Amino acid sequence: AGKEQWPRGEEEVWRAGIRGLDKTVDDITKSVVNHVQTSLARQAYNIDDLGAYQAAALSVRDNLLVNWNETQLNYTKKNPKRAYYLSLEFLMGRTLDNALLNLGLKDEYKDGVQKLGFSIEDILDKERDAALGNGGLGRLAACYLDSGSSTELPLWGYGLRYKYGIFQQLISPEGNQLEAPDPWLDNQNPWELPRLDVTYEIRFYGRSERSHDGSGRAVWAGGQEVVAVAYDVMIPGYGTKTTNNLRLWESRSKRGFDLNSFNAGNYEGAVESSNSADAITSVLYPNDHTSFGKELRLKQQYFWTAASLADIMRRFKNQNKPLAQFPDFVAIQLNDTHPTLAIPELMRILIDEEDLTWDQAWTIVTNTFFYTNHTVLPEALEKWPVPLLEHVLPRHLQIIYDINLFFLQAVEKKYPGDRERLARMSLIEEGQPKQVRMAHLAAIGSRKVNGVAELHSDLVRTTILKDFVEFEGLSKYSNVTNGITPRRWLDQCNPELSALITKTLAVDKNVWLKDLKLLKGLIPHAEDADFRKAWAAIKQRNKERLAAHVQSTLGLTVRTDAMFDVQIKRIHEYKRQTLNILGVIHRYLTLKVMTPEEKAKVNPRVVFFAGKAAPAYYIAKLTIRLIVNVAKVINGDPDTKDYLQLYFLPDYSVSLAEVLIPASDISQHISTAGTEASGTSNMKFCLNGGLLLGTVDGANIEIAEEVGESNVFFFGHLTPAVEDLRYQHLYHPVPIEEKCPALANVLNQISSGLFGNDDIYEPLLNTIRQNDYYLLSDDFDSYIAALAMVDEAYQDKEEWIKKSINTTANMGKFSSDRAILEYAESFWNIEPTPFK
């Protein structure tokens, strides 16, 4: 092979101009000062912490770009198969600290900004979270990008650049959740690069016609065209130069999103009110399990999948390869059903624009896509009304009908005359109106389908997609248990523990943070009293850090010589925060009747809740209100306040989780069995040495398999019992007084006005008194017994610390590096593509 030709101008001049990575403190201060002066147009005498953050971030971005450019060049040269992760949510949190860690420049920047008169902690604290996600699904996507770069995989993310991320949660004095917009881009976002040269036109509405050129092809014409503009976010790998890309699309603005109704408190109204082009990427839908049937949401989904596919297709076509080879170079992961329109969209491109036959196109499609299911909750399975689809995407509806026709013909062939099966499996659900079942479309259009933990994947195979497994075979339906990045969720959020682990394992942090199973080397140290002392001291300092945070943000004093008991996640009936608060009330009532001698034996406990409720989710909002008002009573009661404190921390976010998780002794993951697909915060707590109190659900099960059941506090009914119990509730109800007197007493105390003397909580209490769909009355007694076991175990501090150490030591499986490599190897067939 001859020497490559330099593409433009004088090679030496170019080469001399290419800036390498900043390495020394001197390089860094120069680059920060340069950004202060040029990018921000400020100077030493008028720069504040926010400005210093921005200048430091821009300087770090320059460094990321050096690696980012080389990474893209490496891919262009080697042309490996690439994977694309399509996710409507990427819950990134803050970037600066993570970028510094991954670049290996943390100490240098710390020193550099200090020389310029700033503290790195203050600067880091100025960054706003990028909160383009609701919860687990979006945070998982963020962890996977980190792991993709860290394992040097050619993996890009595609999402939407929402102008407003997840709402800010405010709590009124009465305990009501209020929503305020999250204008996260107001201070500018140093982490993105607008690519005004990368744009696509995306069509909506109009009509599907036959072309007049005699080919009989369908042509989609008319309607509205919206421009998609790319914004690139660099995703650095830890300890590697690989810096992948997250491409977020913005719809080009014509008219602003309706801030007026937003400010007037009508969040959903504001979301719906404007349907113009720029509204498409205005705001993240704030629901994690529903929000279907809304035209704007459908437009978001299509806008994003169509722009992403156009971009992927353009990159593929640059290679001049036949289209049949598309799946040899492209794997597309559908994160939940949200991007499922990519399936008919790729069909449309291949048939209408590229002139392939239906069969050729379908072969390409079904070898390109992979689908991850994240929930089996029936209310969360996406369906789109046929009339809406027909209106917004007329050509796609035709394609979906054709996919359905051919699919049902094949089913009919295998099961002749089985009408019921056909109706169950159809992509179209009959009714008024008819609806398209997106999970069915995602399943049949994909090469592999997976759930996110063993139990959940089993449930997918045996419930919602059972017929499909029978028809297509088990091998297509598999599992990849979720994971979390140990960089953010241990090293960054718990630096002292990370340092202790590095010292104890006597290997470089670069090594164990990328091979998390090495944590097993901690096991023998659990027997070493000095090590336990050091371990416990770190937990204590993390509690103090959390207490300082609560003091500075809420002005409340948290005692730190108590057990910290934490439940943080979206507020949802199935996650059963209600069970937790009822348990707290039970504890309070018990304390109230104890003698001083009895109380002296009690373990002081501080209970923390945090989480947002979907703005229209009334029962979830009532749960928050109850927690806040119970907290007022308990924290103000001189009889009990030394033994029990309760806090609801507003505006849960990635950054708040980073403070809460390392401080926890015990965390609660108490969903009704079979409802929480995986959970990922359970992994974060355990990795940080917090023990788990939970039901036999989701990834709790696999965590217990790894860390040992003796280190986990399990309670409650198992998944197979749930259906029968629900049936009993409906057809043979037993009054709560009879079934669970302790629970009945708690409910009655609330009704009697102990936490406010109106009947505001009755609708919430009635969900339990009436059909109790989430089985609180069935699990309450065993929950209380499990809490007592936790108390008892905590009395023996040395044993508790051993459990804590052994838990962390056995969490290696849950690194997102393991998970992403499973996707890469068993699904996508892509390989690490490092470069020098």
Mind telling me the catalytic residues?
Answer: 374, 569-570, 575, 680, 684
818 is a contact residue toward ligand CGF (CB under 6 A): no
140 is a contact residue toward ligand CGF (CB under 6 A): yes
688 is a contact residue toward ligand CGF (CB under 6 A): no
Minimum distance between the CB of residue 491 and ligand CGF, rounded to whole angstroms? Answer: 22
- Which range of residues in 73-81, 121-129, 299-307, 676-684 is near ligand CGF by CB under 6 A? 676-684
Site for ligand CGF in 311-370 (CB under 6 A): 336
394 is a contact residue toward ligand CGF (CB under 6 A): no
Q: For residue 255, give both structure tokens.
A: 């008219």
Strand, helix or coil at 593? Answer: coil
Q: For residue 4, give both structure tokens.
A: 């490559």
Q: Are the C-beta atoms of 693 and 451 separated by less than 8 Å? A: no
Alpha helices in 570-636 (DSSP H): 577-592, 596-600, 618-636
Site for ligand CGF in 527-556 (CB under 6 A): none
Query: Which residue among 679, 689, 716, 812 contacts ligand CGF (CB under 6 A)?
Result: 679
Size of the site for ligand CGF (CB under 6 A): 18
Minimum distance between the CB of residue 480 and ligand CGF, rounded to whole angstroms? Answer: 10
Query: Which residue among 136, 159, 190, 615 contacts ligand CGF (CB under 6 A)?
Result: 136
Q: Are the C-beta atoms of 159 and 304 separated by less than 8 Å? A: yes
H/E/C letters for each residue in 360-409? HHHHHHHHHEEEECCCCCHHHCCEEEHHHHHHHCHHHHHHHHHHHHHHHH
What CA–CA distance (Å, rounded) separates 767 from 743? 13
- Which range of residues in 91-99, 673-681, 768-776, 787-795 is near ligand CGF by CB under 6 A? 673-681
Minimum distance between the CB of residue 678 and ligand CGF, rounded to whole angstroms? Answer: 4
Site for ligand CGF in 696-755 (CB under 6 A): 698
680 is a contact residue toward ligand CGF (CB under 6 A): yes
Minimum distance between the CB of residue 457 and ligand CGF, rounded to whole angstroms? Answer: 11
678 is a contact residue toward ligand CGF (CB under 6 A): yes
516 is a contact residue toward ligand CGF (CB under 6 A): no
What CA–CA distance (Å, rounded) separates 452 from 460? 10
What CA–CA distance (Å, rounded) separates 647 from 555? 12
Per-residue binding string, ligand CGF, 474-503, x by CB under 6 A, is --------x---------------------
Per-residue binding string, ligand CGF, 271-290, x by CB under 6 A, is -----------------xx-
Name the residue number minimizing CB distance to ligand CGF: 136
Site for ligand CGF in 601-630 (CB under 6 A): none
662 is a contact residue toward ligand CGF (CB under 6 A): no
What CA–CA distance (Å, rounded) separates 307 from 305? 6
What CA–CA distance (Å, rounded) separates 692 from 700? 8
Minimum distance between the CB of residue 722 and ligand CGF, rounded to whole angstroms? Answer: 16
137 is a contact residue toward ligand CGF (CB under 6 A): yes
- Which range of residues in 98-106, 206-214, 670-678, 812-820 is near ligand CGF by CB under 6 A? 670-678
Give the residue with the Cβ less far from ligand CGF, 82 or 572. 572
Taking each helix axis as running N to C, give the angle between helix 25-37 and helix 49-78, from 0 to 180 degrees, rounded to the nearest 10: 110
Minimum distance between the CB of residue 698 and ligand CGF, rounded to whole angstroms? Answer: 5
H/E/C letters for each residue in 750-775? HHCCCCCCCCCCHHHHHHHHCCCCCC
**Shortest CA distance to 372 belongs to which of 463, 451, 313, 444?**
451
Give the residue with the Cβ less far from ligand CGF, 284 or 591. 284
- Which range of residues in 497-505, 524-532, 678-686, 740-748 is near ligand CGF by CB under 6 A? 678-686
135 is a contact residue toward ligand CGF (CB under 6 A): yes
Give the residue with the Cβ less far from ligand CGF, 674 or 690. 674
What CA–CA distance (Å, rounded) separates 183 from 263? 12
What CA–CA distance (Å, rounded) separates 626 from 577? 10
What CA–CA distance (Å, rounded) separates 362 from 19? 46
Q: For residue 687, give both structure tokens.
A: 């990795």
Sheet holding 477-479, edge to edge: 192-204, 224-236, 243-251, 155-160, 82-86, 330-335, 369-372, 448-451, 477-479
Site for ligand CGF in 417-456 (CB under 6 A): 452
Give the residue with the Cβ less far from ligand CGF, 374 or 525. 374
Peptide bond connecting 433 to the previous residue in cis, omega within 30 degrees of 0: yes
**Shortest CA distance to 98 belongs to which of 61, 67, 70, 135?**
61
Give the residue with the Cβ less far from ligand CGF, 91 or 746. 91
Q: In which element (H, E) is residue 170 found? A: strand 168-171
127 is a contact residue toward ligand CGF (CB under 6 A): no
Burial class from Cβ neighbours inside 10 Å (0-12, 13-18, 19+) for residue 827 reads buried
Residue 150 vs residues 61, 243, 511, 776: alpha-carbon distances, Å: 18, 8, 12, 42
677 is a contact residue toward ligand CGF (CB under 6 A): yes
Give the residue with the Cβ less far from ligand CGF, 327 or 611. 611
Residues that bind ligand CGF (CB under 6 A): 135-137, 140, 288-289, 336, 374-375, 380, 452, 482, 676-680, 698
